[in-house]
Amino acid sequence: MADGAVMRSLSRLTRAVTITTKTLLLVLVFCALWPFHAVSLRRHGRLARRLPIIFHRFACAMIGLTISESGTRPRDVPALILSNHSSWIDIVALSALAPVSFVAKSEIAGWPVFGTLARLQRSIFVDRNNRRATGEIAQTMARRLGRGEWIVLFAEGTTSDGNRVLPFKAPLVGAARMALDPGRGEAQGEGGSGLLPTLLLQPLAITYTRRNGLPLTRRERPDLCWYGRMDLVPHLADILAGGSIDVVIHWGTPRSFDAASDRKALTRRAWREVREAVSRANRGRGSGEGDGGEGVAQKGISAEPPRA
């Protein structure tokens, strides 16, 4: 009995030390990068897009996150990425791959720590209860997409348990459609109307497949996900102390999207493709199998981001 109590105490102490050490290292790296990022952000410099990649790659190392990437990314073209969403880890993984920005709920801007991180990531905050703000959001998206940026939209509108993909919400793609000009032959960027003639809708599937080298079961996978009314801080602590995590990120088939496109049909098609990729990865087949994607397995991450 005494030996068991000692072992439990040692285990709790080890966990506390691990969480504290990793948290402090993350804070130190963030503080070291933040002044350079803040200056570059005001000047729209290249570092504003590259420093978040450095920070999130370090965060991947602290979490023990190993990313396997398959499929074909968009290259030097504006893209609205429609992704499933099951955890805050999704944001870390995607931000470690490329200089992406996210469409986020307006409430997140007021969250401690995570609100600051979201703003530094140049997130676009959406107040879903204020329809009058839609035009301003569309203009922001048009400017950003016109510079060739990639914007990630978690199209389920919420998080799931990782075992399924909830239907994508076509109205969430509506702001992107407002950024499209039906009558112009070329994007105007920040000059002129700021409207784009076309952009890409890129489906993307995120699946958590292993923990500590062992395949995750349907029952275990939700432990990595943050959904429903789960408290964030305990979940963050569990992830930092829980050991290595394997995540599969699959880029689906990009499709051109213009002012005349049927956004509902394209959204349904993207949802079906993401759902099938998640299902394949959950079964251990790998997202790229049978879809013609080029698989890239990587620890750390090697990837050339789009040009600023």
44 lies in some domain? no
5 lies in some domain? no
Alpha carbons 34 and 55: distance in angstroms, whole number:
10
Alpha carbons 100 and 95: distance in angstroms, whole number:
6
What pLDDT score does 170 carry? 82
110 lies in some domain? yes
57 lies in some domain? no
For range 166-171, the mean pLDDT = 88
User: Residue 190 belongs to a domain with what CATH number?
Assistant: 3.40.1130
Q: Considering the entire predicted model, what is its pTM?
A: 0.83
pLDDT higher than 70, residue 306: no
pLDDT higher than 50, residue 290: no
pLDDT higher than 60, residue 36: yes
For range 40-65, the mean pLDDT = 91
**pLDDT per position as a tens digit, 73-85:** 887 778 899 999 9
Please, are residues 274 and 82 in contact by the beta-carbon 8 Å criterion? Answer: yes
pLDDT higher than 80, residue 130: no
Please, are residues 82 and 101 in contact by the beta-carbon 8 Å criterion? Answer: no
User: Which residues are within 8 A (CB) of 272 and not within 5 positions of it... i.e. 6 or more apart?
Assistant: none
141 lies in some domain? yes
Alpha carbons 241 and 107: distance in angstroms, whole number:
28
pLDDT higher than 80, residue 177: no
28 lies in some domain? no
What pLDDT score does 234 carry? 87
What pLDDT score does 206 carry? 97
Alpha carbons 245 and 62: distance in angstroms, whole number:
11
Q: Which of 205, 202, 295, 299 is nearest to 250 (CA)?
A: 205
Average pLDDT, the chain: 82
Alpha carbons 31 and 232: distance in angstroms, whole number:
22
Q: Which residue has the higher pLDDT, 149 or 137?
A: 149
For the ranges 37-46, 123-132, 160-169, 289-298, the maximum mean pLDDT occurs at: 160-169
What pLDDT score does 249 carry? 96
Helices and strands counted in the chain (H then E): 8, 10
Give the containing element (helix H, strand E) for 251. strand 245-251
pLDDT band at 256 (very low <50, low <70, confident <90, very high): confident
What pLDDT score does 195 carry? 65
What pLDDT score does 307 carry? 40
For range 208-235, the mean pLDDT = 88
Give the containing element (helix H, strand E) for 274. helix 263-282
pLDDT band at 197 (very low <50, low <70, confident <90, very high): confident
- Enter the tokens of residue 130: 């204020």
Please, are residues 176 and 257 in contact by the beta-carbon 8 Å criterion? Answer: yes
35 lies in some domain? no
Per-residue CA distances from 293 to 193, 245, 247, 290, 307 (Å): 37, 23, 17, 8, 23
Classify 71 in phi/psi space as left (phi over 0), alpha (psi -120 to 50) or beta.
left
Domain span at residue 135?
64-298
121 lies in some domain? yes
Domain count, the chain: 1
Please, are residues 37 and 48 in contact by the beta-carbon 8 Å criterion? Answer: yes
